[in-house]
């Protein structure tokens, strides 16, 4: 991986970390705003998985589907097949618009955060720059 590719990969990781930081800041507020927290959980997971794919020179698909991204990552490293993303994908797009979509509970949010942190740990352990 050349320096330009490393820099681009670091940008993906940086954006994923920013989304996770937003989650942590929103969770620490007096009244956690669950919709944006769920959205940034999904965004962070998506970016970490895409960074892993980029590290392995795979084309980054234009999708928000966490299950699909996990499948692609599992083709490289089987440990990704053990990640249960729950309904994290649903919060990447559907939650941003009004309609019949229910807001996640605080327990669901805590589960999402755990999933994202697990994905983050796996990706950072496997990416060596």
HEC string of 50-93?
HHHHHHCCCCCCCCCCHHHHHHHHHCCCHHHHHCCCCCHHHHCC
What local confidence, expressed as pLDDT, does residue 94 receive? 64
Contact between residue 73 and residue 50 where contact means Cβ atoms under 8 Å apart? no
Q: What is the CATH number of the domain that holds 13?
A: 1.20.120.330
Higher pLDDT, 54 or 97: 54
Token couple for 48: 């970490």
Q: Does 57 have pLDDT greater than 80?
A: yes
Residues spanned by the domain of 101:
3-126
- Compute the C-alpha angle 104/106/111, nearest 5°: 85
Q: Does 97 have pLDDT greater than 80?
A: no
If one counts the domains in the chain, the total is 1
Token couple for 79: 């440990």
Token couple for 58: 């795979």
Q: Does 125 have pLDDT greater than 90?
A: yes
User: What 3-state DSSP class applies to 126?
Assistant: helix
pTM passes above 0.85: yes
Compute the distance between CA of residue 111 and CA of residue 85 in angstroms, rounded to an integer: 9
Other beta carbons within 10 angstroms of residue 2's beta carbon come to 7
């Amino acid at each position: 991986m050349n320096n330009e590719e490393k820099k681009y990969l670091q940008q993906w990781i940086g954006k994923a970390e920013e989304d996770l930081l937003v989650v942590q800041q929103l969770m620490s507020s007096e009244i956690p705003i669950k919709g944006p927290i769920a959205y940034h959980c999904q965004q962070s997971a998506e970016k970490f998985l895409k960074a892993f794919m980029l590290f392995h020179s795979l084309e980054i698909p234009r999708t928000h589907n966490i299950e699909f991204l996990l499948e692609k990552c599992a083709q490289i490293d089987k440990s990704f097949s053990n990640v249960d993303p729950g309904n994290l994908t649903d919060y990447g797009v559907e939650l941003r618009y009004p309609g019949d979509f229910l807001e996640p509970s605080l327990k669901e949010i805590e589960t999402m955060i755990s999933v994202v942190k697990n994905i983050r740990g796996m990706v950072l352990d496997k990416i060596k720059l």
